[in-house]
Chains A and B, each alone.
Chain A
């Protein structure tokens, strides 16, 4: 079946620290992979995506590479800011999912000055 396993939180980092949030997946087809961000009291916003193996998605200094060999899509940022404090969700959809979306449980990130 299809599923996403995401690194447990919460994660607390100092400003300018390096961020990694791990995400691995299982899929029956050829999924697209996504990272969404949710700020308090708001809906989810797409942060970045990758549609095929070896693609790298990037946005606002965040990056993630679609690794088919390790079934992973880890989120990274070289230097986090206080404004990056939010909950991050990894998700998959696409081939073999019937246009369904499978989400990880979310990782809460707090960046302290």
Chain B
């Protein structure tokens, strides 16, 4: 079955440590996204990538970094510069927009919950 796999599902980090969240998709999607969700909150965009070797900052990129070396992979690193990293992180993907400008729906992974000790 095609889908998006995020790992780990749960992660604990000590203050001052960098951690990397994995996101892999086998949907052959061009565009990939990282969102952060805090309790009772909506989704906030961290980074997105529309094509391999290219990515853009979202609304809350500070303290995070990404890479897009392969189409199917879009890992997110939460650096020690992120002051409040405890949150639920969601990776998503969609196909590139067609001539109609719509890429269709966004597909989500199951999420990774990061807790800072």
Taking Cβ atoms with an 8 Å cutoff, the residues of A that contact B are 29-32, 34, 36, 41-46, 49, 51, 89, 91, 93-97, 99-101, 103-106, 108
Can you add 17 more A-B contacts, CB < 8 Å, to A93-B106, A94-B102, A99-B96? A32-B104, A34-B105, A36-B108, A43-B6, A43-B108, A44-B43, A44-B90, A44-B92, A45-B108, A49-B105, A51-B102, A94-B100, A95-B100, A95-B101, A99-B97, A100-B45, A103-B42
In the complex, how many angstroms separate the beta carbon of B9 from the nearest chain A beta carbon? Answer: 9
Interface contact A42-B106, CB-CB below 8 Å: no
Interface contact A106-B108, CB-CB below 8 Å: no
Residues of chain B within 8 A (CB-CB) of A34 are 105-106
Q: Give Cα distance in the complex from A11 to B21, angstroms.
A: 33
Tell me if B48 counts as interface (CB < 8 A to partner A): yes
Q: How many residues of B contact A (CB 8 A)?
A: 29
In the complex, how many angstroms separate the beta carbon of B1 from the nearest chain A beta carbon? Answer: 14
Taking Cβ atoms with an 8 Å cutoff, the residues of B that contact A are 4, 6, 31, 33, 40-43, 45, 48, 50, 90, 92, 94, 96-97, 100-111, 113
Q: Give Cα distance in the complex from A91 to B42, angstroms.
A: 11
Interface contact B90-A96, CB-CB below 8 Å: no
Interface contact B42-A106, CB-CB below 8 Å: yes
Q: Give Cα distance in the complex from A45 to B106, angstroms.
A: 9
Contacts A29-B101, A99-B50 given; does A105 touch B106 at CB 8 Å:
no
Interface contact B111-A95, CB-CB below 8 Å: no
Most buried by B among A96, A97, A108: A97
